[in-house]
Amino acid sequence: MYDMNKQETAVTQKEIKFSARDVQVYYGDAHAIKDVSVELEDKTVTAFIGPSGCGKSSFLRCLNRMNDTIDICRVEGDIKLDGEDIYHKAVDPVQLRARVGMVFQKPNPFPKSIYDNVAYGPRIHGLARTKADLDEIVEKALRRGAIWDEVKDRLSAPGTGLSGGQQQRLCIARAVATEPEVLLMDEPCSALDPIATAQVEELIDELRKSYSLVIVTHSMQQAARVSQKTAFFHLGSLVEYGETAQIFTNPVDERTESYITGRIG
């Protein structure tokens, strides 16, 4: 399914999308993320792996400022998207989130029709002038989400009536409908069965052509299958970051090796 040697040479020329320097995250007094510096490449799938509570989800949520919704959360350090500091005072998190979409762990379609689920983002961002434009955007997003063929005859049916895997693909379609540049995925397959997981993974591989993707996962096999770059987090620190093939075959750090071989975690 995945040729590691070929990818290794391919990803090195890509430009940097996100660059983080000395990022610290505190929840109240708890220091959840310590000194994380990382550069995420464009048109690449980057996987964040690590044991539960290691801060990978917290760091992911820093990238589109979803942590802002948590009162006690404090973020320090620099995170730049295309060279712009996303925590700068002048940045509107709403605009940021339109450029950095997110897919969550549990499929969370709105309790509205399939069409409205996908159309919501374009509507609030004013991406469509006419109904026909909107129809087109919705169809394109659903095709990208690899769910168009399954739902094209029942666009007015409730999105919550779909199966778990379909719901998650609908959520991905909803996220891509606003034409983001980066797509963050927080354990997108943890609530899905193997078949639905395979569909979503295939989709991720497809989306890599147009977006930069960051995926948090608990499954190391998944990280190995879908990503080109992997970052290993442990106890709030970024332990190792590099080519996926290298991390899984020849890790530099001892902790990384212990984790991927199943000794810790």
In 3-state terms, what secondary structure has residue 201? helix
Q: Establish if 174 lies at the interface with other proteins (CB under 8 A).
A: yes
> Residue 248: how many CB atoms within 10 A of its CB?
21
Q: Establish if 177 lies at the interface with other proteins (CB under 8 A).
A: yes
Nearer to other proteins, 190 or 237 (CB): 190
Q: Which stretch binds other proteins (CB under 8 A): 51-59, 169-177, 206-214, 251-259?
A: 169-177
- CB distance 22 to 78 below 8 Å: yes
Q: Establish if 102 lies at the interface with other proteins (CB under 8 A).
A: yes
Q: Establish if 29 lies at the interface with other proteins (CB under 8 A).
A: no
Which of 147, 78, 57 minimizes the C-alpha distance to 109? 147
Interface pick for other proteins out of 110, 140, 143, 190 (rule CB under 8 A): 110
Q: Which stretch binds other proteins (CB under 8 A): 24-32, 99-107, 226-234, 255-263?
A: 99-107
**Sites for other proteins among residues 183-242 (CB under 8 A):** none
Interface pick for other proteins out of 64, 217, 222, 244 (rule CB under 8 A): 64
Spatial separation of the C-alpha atoms in residues 236 and 33, rounded to whole Å: 4
CB-hemisphere CA count at 13 Å for 132? Answer: 0
Nearer to other proteins, 97 or 234 (CB): 97
Spatial separation of the C-alpha atoms in residues 10 and 258, rounded to whole Å: 28
Q: Which stretch binds other proteins (CB under 8 A): 13-21, 47-55, 111-119, 231-239?
A: 111-119
Q: Establish if 111 lies at the interface with other proteins (CB under 8 A).
A: yes
Nearer to other proteins, 8 or 179 (CB): 179
Spatial separation of the C-alpha atoms in residues 28 and 238, rounded to whole Å: 21
Q: Establish if 153 lies at the interface with other proteins (CB under 8 A).
A: no
103's enclosing H/E stretch is strand 100-103
DSSP, res 77: E
In 3-state terms, what secondary structure has residue 176? helix
- CB distance 17 to 82 below 8 Å: yes
Interface pick for other proteins out of 15, 31, 37, 124 (rule CB under 8 A): 124
Q: Give residue for tokens 């810790």.
A: 264
> Residue 78: how many CB atoms within 10 A of its CB?
14
- CB distance 141 to 177 below 8 Å: yes
Q: Establish if 66 lies at the interface with other proteins (CB under 8 A).
A: yes
Q: List the structure tokens of 13.
A: 């020329």
Nearer to other proteins, 103 or 146 (CB): 103
Q: Which stretch binds other proteins (CB under 8 A): 167-175, 192-200, 230-238, 254-262?
A: 167-175
Interface pick for other proteins out of 51, 77, 158, 265 (rule CB under 8 A): 158
Binding residues for other proteins (CB under 8 A): 64, 66, 69, 71, 94-95, 97-98, 101-104, 106, 108-113, 120-121, 124-125, 158, 171, 174-175, 177-178
